[in-house]
A and B are shown apart, each in its own frame.
Chain A
Amino acid sequence: MEKYLRTPIKEIIGKYPPVGALLEEYRIGCVPCSVGSCLLADIVEIHNLSPEDEGALMAGIAGIVSPGQVVALPEPRKRSPESTRKISYSPPMTALVEEHKYIKRFLAVLPAVLDRFDARSEADRALVRDGLDFVRSYADRFHHAKEEDILFACFDPGLDILKAMHEDHERGRAHVRAAGEALARCDGEGVAANLHGYAGVLEEHIRKEDEILYPWMDRNLSTRQVGELFARFRAVDERFAEDRKKYESFVERLEDAYAEPISEVK
């Protein structure tokens, strides 16, 4: 089993596809991940399963990779019971999760905007232009820049989980670029396809960050680092304060115009 713990997860899933389905049962979404170079041992650590779930997952994987054999399983990691799966963010992570809520609210109203979008209408094109501005400025320049320039810098840049997050950001940016190009040539289908694609990438990306990445980072940041991150995020917030109000009220106006507020993401 030790050999598999040190093996990239995509390699294991490629050789033993039922492992992917088993991971899904524990809400570990390695199958759709486009990077997949995380080691099995790191995945178990990052997802912070309870000792019981960790033991059951490892036994299940052992049953798939070595059927009918008696395999020595690793001891589940020791940790306090209350730390398992209980998400309690530090203040800087709370700030990022709050920003996610506005991005999720934008993504929730986006299908209604795209359903009614007419590329021949200047008013509709202007609205999508504003939406792209929200995505580029609020989601990317403000929020993702906090992550990439400040938060991720606290960790080893070679970590696979960070590479996967960077790749999500780049895939999102590529969709936004393509949507902007489609808008410039009044290509309604191109705009819709790329913005739907963007929403798909970001919804999954935010879920991974809220449920897995940020809690894992909180478990690994020192008190000193939490304080420093908080101060640096506040400095960014102060620089972006006016724009932030503008973009958050844009989302609220969009919701008023297109849909009921999405209560569960508020």
Chain B
Amino acid sequence: MMSGCPGSRTMTFAKEDDAQVPAGKVPSQLRQWPIQLHLVSPSAPYFQGADVVLAADCVPFAMGDFHNTYLKGKGLAIACPKLDGGQEIYLEKIRGLFEDAKINTLTVVIMQVPCCRGLASLALQALKESSRKVPVKSVIVSLQGEVLQEDWAAA
């Protein structure tokens, strides 16, 4: 019988070590530094007019092709809605992305665990409070990296 928080429940995923994977190095699609939401600034040049991904910390580890599927050609900020402090600062930063950086779109990629929904809620709250509206897409990723849901939010 399972109990406790699904976000911290212990699980093991059986994998075949010799499973077929493409040969050669997979190049990084990261175009900036820093990436942590407390460290980035909406005034950074890589955010101006950009398509931006706001990813929960666990997403790039769960999702094998995160770089090519979501990061390619986009600005990035990462955060954990469960463990990070100062989330009111996050709210202001995301609003700053909409209003000051005048980003083109925001794609919020979160894990399927309930605590991760907080990041999507934070982005939508910032959009609601923003004077400038931008399309926001919400993507939910399973613990094994499958995209479970991908929807545009009402702008």
Contact = CB atoms under 8 A, between A and B. Distances in A.
Given A230-B134, A234-B133, A224 B105 contact: yes
Contacts of B133: 91, 230, 234
A234 B134 CA distance: 10
Interface in A70-123: 80, 82, 88-92, 94
A94 B149 contact: no
Nearest to A90: B152
Contacts of A14: none
Contacts of B73: 224
B17 interface: no
B102 to A, nearest CB: 9
B30 interface: no
Nearest to A80: B147
Nearest to B133: A234
B135 interface: yes
B155 A230 contact: yes
Contacts, number: 43
Given A82-B149, A90-B135, A92-B135, A227 B104 contact: yes
Interface residues of A, number: 16
Residue among A82, A89, A91, A234 with the most chain B CB within 10 A? A91
Contact of B104 (A88, A89, A224): A224
B137 interface: yes
Contacts of B134: 227, 230
Interface residues of B, number: 18
Interface in A52-86: 80, 82
B154 interface: yes
B149 A227 contact: no
A231 B104 contact: yes
A94 B105 contact: no
A226 B155 CA distance: 12
A226 B149 contact: no
B155 A228 contact: no
A88 B138 CA distance: 12
Interface in B100-155: 103-105, 107, 133-135, 137, 147, 149, 151-155
B105 A88 contact: no
Contact of A223 (B137, B149, B151, B155): B137
Contacts of A89: 152
Nearest to B49: A227
A91 B135 contact: yes
Nearest to B146: A80
B141 to A, nearest CB: 13
B76 to A, nearest CB: 14
A224 B49 CA distance: 10
Interface in A211-242: 223-224, 226-228, 230-231, 234
5 contacts: A91-B152, A92-B135, A224-B73, A230-B105, A230-B155
Given A223-B107, A231-B104, 4 more contacts: A80-B147, A90-B152, A91-B153, A230-B155
